């Protein structure tokens, strides 16, 4: 009713005011954390302060769906609201980067830096899990009048956790046992479910943002410019660091299946996918970013097109659909043909060439299954 809508608007305004007031706090934090010794001391020696800062990030992430959504285009009257929120989000992102600097450090007065890093990971992971559970519950509920459902655009907990994990990957740590310890050494099914929950929201977010860019442009060019400024595009982009960790934790096969399940709602392909424009668009976005995750950021050492093409084909044909049916759909609908595309950003040149060649690939005669 009208009272519920009024209450909801007031709640949103209070949250936005709170975020704006936190800008100065984040600016002060960034000034301090620019000094590596301060960042190192905070992460390794003052876990109480680290917990407070992570709590601030968690509050912003919990408020995200109230502040900004992607389910419908912004309008001109949103311009001031968006402009007011950008500084808080920018400062928040900078805090995350500075915390990673402290996480990577090895202070001489800390006896066991590895144990300290694992404790810091747990401090970030616990509120992230709470957010995932709450979001999963909300997605299954029926929205109240005036309360739209859409992916949250700013995910500081996801980013901080993934950057912490990627710091361990760069140090040649095995991240799978570390993650198993974080979730309580549960069985393989629980492990896969946790990884799936981590990658689901960033994938849905990227899908929603990419699919809605043309609508945003038509709504208001000036608001669109605010919405997609360079640094903000980096925030809303698919979190490749998070996906890289998930890939390292699960292995390529399970990771690919989980990613396709997130975007397509099922494992493998069927002929119906080529008749569904939304499903084709989802597949296209998914493929482009899986290629980037597997080949651009994982350090797997692929150096030539044949190796890259093999990996892309392995992803494409991992389902039960025959080569001929997939190729027919790819060729007919131009899936993975990125020439002239504007909304997915630039793709590294060698990957762009391979992706184009995949659409023209024909398997050896007599080969029918992927």
Q: Is the dihedral of CA 36, 40, 46, 50 positive or negative?
A: positive
Nearest Cα to 100, choosing from 165, 182, 175?
Answer: 165
User: Tens digits of per-residue pLDDT, 117-155?
Assistant: 999 999 999 999 888 888 777 665 555 544 455 555 667
Are 73 and 170 contained in the same domain? Answer: yes
Categorize the per-residue pLDDT at 86 as very low, low, confident or very high, splitting at 50, 70 and 90: low
Boundary of a domain, candidates 193, 217, 250: 250
Predicted TM-score (pTM) of this structure: 0.64
Are 163 and 226 contained in the same domain? Answer: yes
Distance from C-alpha of 28 to C-alpha of 30, rounded to nearest angstrom: 5
Residue of higher predicted confidence among 185 and 72: 185
Structure tokens at 273: 């996918």
Given this model, what pLDDT does residue 250 score? 74
Residue 284 within a domain: yes
Residue of higher predicted confidence among 337 and 317: 317
Domain range holding 231?
1-132+152-250
Residue with tokens 């996801």: 158
Q: Is the pLDDT of residue 191 over 90?
A: no
User: Tens digits of per-residue pLDDT, 50-72?
Assistant: 998 898 888 877 765 444 444 44
Instruction: Give how many domains the chain has, as a whole number.
Output: 2
Residue 256 within a domain: no
Are 201 and 312 contained in the same domain? Answer: no
Question: Inter-axis angle of helices 188-219 and 113-140, to 10 degrees?
Answer: 60
User: Tens digits of per-residue pLDDT, 222-242?
Assistant: 555 555 554 444 444 445 667
The stretches of the chain forming alpha helices (DSSP H) are 2-33, 36-44, 47-67, 79-104, 113-140, 156-170, 175-182, 188-219, 221-227, 230-236, 240-250, 252-264, 277-291, 305-316, 323-333, 349-359
Structure tokens at 313: 């084909």
User: Tens digits of per-residue pLDDT, 14-37?
Assistant: 655 665 566 666 667 766 666 778
Are 237 and 351 contained in the same domain? Answer: no
Q: Is the pLDDT of residue 328 over 60?
A: no
Nearest Cα to 204, choosing from 126, 263, 270, 271?
Answer: 263
Question: Inter-axis angle of helices 113-140 and 36-44, to 10 degrees?
Answer: 80
Residue 189 within a domain: yes
Are 226 and 277 contained in the same domain? Answer: no
What are the φ/ψ torsions at residue 148 (nearest 5 degrees)? Answer: -80, 155
């Amino acid at each position: 009713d009208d009272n519920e809508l009024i209450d909801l608007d007031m709640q949103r305004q209070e949250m936005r005011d709170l975020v704006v007031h936190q800008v100065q706090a984040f600016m002060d934090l960034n000034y301090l954390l620019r000094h590596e010794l301060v960042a190192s001391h905070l992460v390794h020696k003052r876990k109480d302060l680290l917990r407070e800062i992570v709590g601030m990030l968690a509050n912003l992430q919990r408020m995200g769906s109230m502040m900004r959504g992607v389910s419908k285009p912004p309008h001109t009257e949103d311009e001031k609201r968006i402009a007011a929120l950008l500084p808080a989000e920018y400062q928040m992102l900078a805090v995350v980067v500075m915390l990673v600097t402290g996480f990577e450090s090895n202070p001489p007065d800390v006896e066991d830096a590895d144990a300290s890093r694992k404790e810091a990971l747990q401090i970030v992971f616990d509120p992230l899990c709470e957010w995932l559970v709450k979001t999963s519950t909300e997605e299954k509920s029926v929205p109240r009048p005036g309360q739209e459902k859409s992916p949250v655009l700013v995910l500081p907990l996801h980013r901080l956790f993934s950057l912490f994990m990627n710091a361990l990957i760069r140090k040649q740590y095995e991240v799978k046992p570390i993650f198993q310890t974080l979730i309580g050494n549960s069985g393989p099914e629980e492990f896969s479910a946790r990884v799936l929950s981590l990658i689901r929201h960033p994938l849905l977010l990227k899908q929603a943002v990419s699919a809605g860019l043309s609508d945003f442009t038509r709504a208001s060019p000036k608001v669109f410019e605010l919405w997609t400024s360079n640094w903000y595009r980096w925030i809303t982009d698919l979190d490749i660091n998070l996906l890289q960790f998930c890939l390292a934790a699960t292995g390529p096969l399970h990771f690919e299946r989980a990613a396709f399940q997130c975007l397509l709602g099922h494992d493998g392909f069927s002929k119906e996918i080529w008749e569904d424009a939304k499903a084709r668009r989802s597949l296209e976005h998914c493929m482009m970013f899986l290629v980037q995750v597997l080949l651009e950021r994982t350090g797997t050492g692929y150096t030539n097109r044949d190796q890259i093409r093999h990996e892309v084909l392995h992803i494409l044909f991992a389902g039960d659909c025959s080569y001929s049916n997939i190729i027919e759909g790819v060729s007919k609908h131009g899936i993975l043909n990125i020439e002239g595309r504007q909304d997915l950003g630039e793709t590294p040149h060698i990957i762009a060439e391979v992706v184009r060649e995949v659409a023209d690939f024909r398997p050896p005669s007599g080969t029918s299954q992927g």
